[in-house]
Amino acid sequence: MNNIWKALTLLSAFIAAAHCLTCRQCPLGVFGTCLFGSDVTCNNATESCYSGEAQFNATGSLTLQTRGCLDSDLCGRTLTGTILGAGYTSSFQCCTTELCNGASSVHISLTVALCTAILSFLLGTWEL
């Protein structure tokens, strides 16, 4: 009888490990809109769904969002660093149920995104 309990415990551990979380993935979000979003299955049972923000210290107003799977050790943390000399602060909020980090996504082509960025830059450099 003892062997049956051991086998059932081991089997439930394998089932729990095999059942990984499905999260919304957003590699890049700007102004609250997710670009190129999709659903993703986390790699292991130690990962949670997350919603994250990175704010660049120099601009103050530019905040990038991201969503996906994250190791649970980073949940609730705020990290600081630099990229090419620009300081940033990023924070991660996690949840542990299916698609709990829901993100609306907009699927646009890379060409449309680049043309919009170039047009915005050109219009911003013209003086009225």
pLDDT tens digits, the chain, 128 residues: what are they?
A: 555 534 434 334 344 444 589 999 999 998 888 888 999 999 988 899 999 999 988 766 778 899 999 999 999 999 999 888 888 899 999 999 999 998 444 444 445 455 455 555 555 555 54
- CATH of span 2-125: 2.10.60.10
HSE, side-chain direction, 13 A CA sphere, residue 94: 17
Given a contact cutoff of 8 angstroms between Cβ atoms, the answer to whether 43 and 35 are in contact is no
What pLDDT score does 35 carry? Answer: 87
Q: Are strands 86-95 and 105-106 parallel, antiparallel or unpaired?
A: unpaired
User: How far, in Å, are 1, 6, 44, 113 from residue 11 at the CA level?
Assistant: 16, 9, 17, 48
Token pair of 128, please?
């009225």
What's the pTM value of the predicted model, to 2 decimals?
0.62
Closest residue by Cα to residue 25 from 78, 81, 70, 66: 66
Taking the domains of the chain in order of start, what are their residue ranges?
2-125
Given a contact cutoff of 8 angstroms between Cβ atoms, the answer to whether 9 and 3 are in contact is no
